[in-house]
């Protein structure tokens, strides 16, 4: 019910003042060729809201999976190179291929996110122990540092790349209309459906590899499947909207406040809580700065930091 309410606010509130009756008329008539209010509602706000729901759910679930699989309460899409891989491929598309516009280079960002995560997992898998949580974190930090250095070196010498990357990297739902929604929605829906079957396996992994093996679980295979799901979810979400911070980091901890440490409940709760947080931040950014707007990545950065400090303060951070 709360998610439905926030979605309704996202459609009815914005930097442009549109009456509730006009919004309802547009929603029920589905006539985008009518007055400007119908065009704004159907072609801008509705796709933006639906994308916010899917991207929020994907980031929340991806963060919960990463925290459980790596046993790292600070794990999110950024720690394993997903954001830096997407940014590197966007810069490559701009500087080498001459690509312009988020609707085009979203696919390069998706490919970069998946490639970076695959590289991190391959590096961490070297050795007898396989991809342990510590090795994954170290490999992610190393790959991220390398990709960020290369990306920064290119954009500092290329004005076009700097301008395009700055627009994408702020983290935003603005300007992401129906073509982007329909392009990434299948990946997000498949990833979300697959994630709901991982709860029991992540419960075992969160107890430690030895315990998981003792319970008959194939640790390497389970971790590989979990990372494949994360690659699809976080990769598609980051490609569509840029690197949105704090959702995948904070929301799983909020879910634990509600349902405890069982990932069979944490995953669906994260799937519901994350879009609520994301859409509320998006609506807030549109309202407080009207007629302009603050991008959702900026708003989440402002409210996410104190929220995370509060989580640490009340001592639930270690309960992963």
Rg (CA), the chain: 20
How far apart are the C-alpha atoms of 140 and 150, rounded to whole Å?
15
Q: What is the pLDDT of residue 263?
A: 93
Token pair of 20 as six digits: 């509730």
> What DSSP assignment string belongs to the chain?
-HHHHHHHHHHH-SSS---HHHHHHHHHH--TTSSHHHHHIIIIIHHHHHHHHHHHHHHHHHHHHHHHHHT-TT--TTTTTHHHHHHHHHHHHHHTS---SHHHHHHHHHHHHHHHHHHHHHHHT-STT-S-HHHHHHHHHHHHHHHHHHHHHHHTT-HHHHHHHHHHHT---TT--HHHHHHHHHHHHHHHHHHTT-HHHHHHHHT-HHHHHHTT--HHHHHHHHHHHHHHHHHHHHHHH----SHHHHHHHHHHHHH-S-HHHHHHHHHHHHHHHHHHHHHHHHHHTTTS---HHHHHHHHHHHHHHHHHHTT-TT--
Residues, the chain? 320
Residue-wise pLDDT tens digits, 194-225: 999 999 999 988 877 777 787 778 887 888 89
Q: What is the pTM of this model?
A: 0.87
Q: What residues in the chain have per-residue pLDDT under 50?
A: 318, 320
Buried residues in 103-139 as b, exposed as e (16+ CB within 10 A):
eebbebbbbbbbbbbebbbebbbeeeebbbbebbbeb
Q: What is the pLDDT of residue 3?
A: 92
Residues 4, 214: Cα–Cα separation, whole Å: 43
Cβ-in-10-Å burial (0-12, 13-18, 19+) of 316 comes to middle
Give domain limits for the chain: 2-313
CA distance 177 to 180: 6
Handedness of CA 239, 242, 245, 251 (dihedral sign): negative
The answer to whether 59 touches 77, Cβ cutoff 8 Å, is yes
Measure the CA dihedral 49/301/183/105, to 10°: 140
Distance CA(51)–CA(65), nearest Å, equals: 21
Question: What is the structure's pLDDT at 318?
Answer: 47
Angle at 13 between CA 12 and CA 14, to 5 degrees: 130
Rounded distance, CA 195 to CA 76, Å? 15
Task: Return the closest-CA partner of residue 85 out of 60, 119, 51.
Answer: 119
pLDDT at residue 193, as a whole number: 95
Burial letters for 252-280: b for 16+ Cβ neighbours within 10 Å, e otherwise? bbbbbeeeeeebeebbbbbbbbbbbbbbb
CATH of range 2-313; options 3.40.50.720, 3.40.1550.10, 1.50.10.20, 1.10.3470.10: 1.10.3470.10
């Amino acid at each position: 019910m709360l998610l439905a309410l926030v979605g309704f606010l996202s459609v009815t509130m914005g930097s442009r003042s549109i009456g509730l009756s006009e919004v309802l008329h547009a929603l029920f008539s589905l006539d985008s060729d009518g007055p400007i209010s119908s065009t704004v509602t159907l072609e801008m706000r509705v796709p933006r809201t639906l994308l916010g729901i899917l991207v929020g759910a994907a980031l929340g679930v991806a963060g919960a999976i990463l925290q459980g699989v790596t046993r790292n309460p600070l794990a999110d899409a950024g720690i394993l190179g997903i954001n830096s891989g997407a940014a590197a491929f966007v810069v490559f598309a701009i500087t080498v291929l001459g690509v312009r516009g988020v609707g085009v280079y979203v696919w390069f960002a998706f490919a970069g996110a998946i490639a970076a995560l695959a590289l991190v997992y391959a590096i961490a898998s070297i050795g007898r122990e396989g991809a342990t949580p510590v090795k994954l974190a170290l490999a992610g930090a190393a790959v991220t540092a390398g990709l960020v250095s290369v990306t920064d070196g290119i954009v500092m010498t290329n004005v076009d790349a700097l301008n395009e990357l700055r627009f994408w990297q702020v983290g935003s739902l603005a300007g992401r209309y129906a073509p982007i929604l329909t392009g990434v929605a299948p990946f997000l829906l498949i990833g979300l459906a697959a994630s709901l079957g991982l709860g029991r396996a992540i419960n075992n992994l969160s107890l430690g590899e030895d315990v998981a093996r003792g319970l008959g679980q194939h640790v390497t295979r389970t971790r590989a499947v979990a990372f494949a799901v994360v690659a699809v979810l976080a990769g598609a979400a980051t490609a569509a909207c840029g690197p949105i911070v704090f959702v995948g980091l904070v929301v799983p901890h909020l879910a634990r406040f509600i349902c405890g440490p069982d990932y069979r409940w944490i995953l669906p709760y994260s799937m519901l809580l994350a879009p609520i947080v994301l859409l509320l931040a998006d609506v807030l950014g549109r309202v407080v700065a009207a007629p302009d707007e603050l991008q959702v990545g900026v708003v989440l950065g402002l409210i996410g930091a104190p929220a995370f400090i509060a989580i640490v303060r009340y001592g639930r951070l270690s309960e992963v």
